Amino acid sequence: MDFIQIIKTIIFGIVEGITEWLPISSTGHMILLDEFFGLQASGFTAEFVELFIVVIQFGAILAVVVLFWNKLWPFCAKKEEYFIKKDTWSLWFHILVSCIPFGVAGVLFDDKIEEFIVGDTRSIIVASMLIFYGILFIVIEKGVIKHRERIRNVAGISYLLAFVIGCIQVLAMVPGTSRSGVSIIGMMLLGCTRVVSAEYSFFLAIPAMAGSSLMSVMKYEGSLGGGEIGALVIGLVVSFIVSLFAIKFLVGYVKKHNFVVFGWYRIALGIVVLACVFAGVI
């Protein structure tokens, strides 16, 4: 790897680590980043760049596991004996139920969506989703759409609610939607607090993003050389480190603030993407 390739992979890792957890769409940011700091221009193939963008998400997953280890690890040592934490197992079963709709939809429609959403169409759809969900965030937080906060901890999520949340998460298959963003919006409308919505969206990311990374690796038909492996390692490590800070920031932020600022940011970014499309930059 040369110096330019290293710098670009670091930048991609930073952007992934930030945007994957904030409800502002990592896809929208990656499209802009790829246009102005494209990895292909540095010698990587288009197929590898597609793989790279998905696989570095695994670094972000590891950050969730590290930060929420006590809540996610179902075993505990006490007096030199291990016992099972029933609440944690229950949480994992709820997460799996939430992932069923997303997994089924991914297997059935992922390739079809990729074939349909290409070129300018992809950029316009990304911009539209950024703006639409940005407006939705503002509308919800301003109280235009009424919702009552009934569920104040993750343990209060029923299996039925977990499944409905999973169905809502399927909307994230459309680029620009933001998996965390649509999950948070849906959960707030279903009666969850901001903190519960954000935390559960983190947990949902573990199987969802791990599955996406695995599918991308399985579909990749090229061969990985030393430069490609180095780029993946750098991207994963940077994404992991930045995600640690991004997740901590969001958890602390939602305890005192609402999501309005993210709504305005999405709208602004969507307008920038549209302007770039019509100006011929993208």
β-pair type (75-78, 81-84)? antiparallel
Res 165: pLDDT: 95
Mean pLDDT, residues 253-265 taken together: 92
Mean pLDDT, residues 80-88 taken together: 74
Residue 119 in this model has a pLDDT that exceeds 70: no
Mean pLDDT, residues 139-167 taken together: 88
Residue 81 in this model has a pLDDT that exceeds 70: no
Residue 244 in this model has a pLDDT that exceeds 90: yes
Res 241: pLDDT: 96
Question: Between 231 and 77, whose confidence is greater?
Answer: 231
Residue 101 in this model has a pLDDT that exceeds 70: yes
Which residue from 75, 71, 105, 107 is spatially nearest to 91, judged by alpha carbons? 71
Res 118: pLDDT: 63
Q: How confident is the model at residue 278 (pLDDT cuts 50, 70, 90)?
A: confident
- Contact yes or no for 109/228 (Cβ under 8 A): no
Mean pLDDT, residues 225-243 taken together: 91
Which residue from 120, 59, 107 is spatially nearest to 274, judged by alpha carbons? 120
Which residue from 229, 137, 258 is spatially nearest to 189, judged by alpha carbons? 137
In eight-state DSSP terms, residue 56 is T
Q: How confident is the model at residue 95 (pLDDT cuts 50, 70, 90)?
A: very high
Residue 115 in this model has a pLDDT that exceeds 90: no
pTM (two decimals): 0.85
Q: Is 237 exposed, middle or buried (0-12, 13-18, 19+ CB in 10 A)?
A: middle
Residue burial 68-105, b: 16+ Cβ < 10 Å; e: rest: beeebeeeeeeeeeeeeeeebeebeebbebbbebbbeb
Mean residue pLDDT of the chain comes to 86
Question: Between 232 and 119, whose confidence is greater?
Answer: 232
CA pair distance 77, 98, nearest whole angstrom? 29
Res 82: pLDDT: 63
Res 266: pLDDT: 94
Percent share of the chain, pLDDT over 70: 94
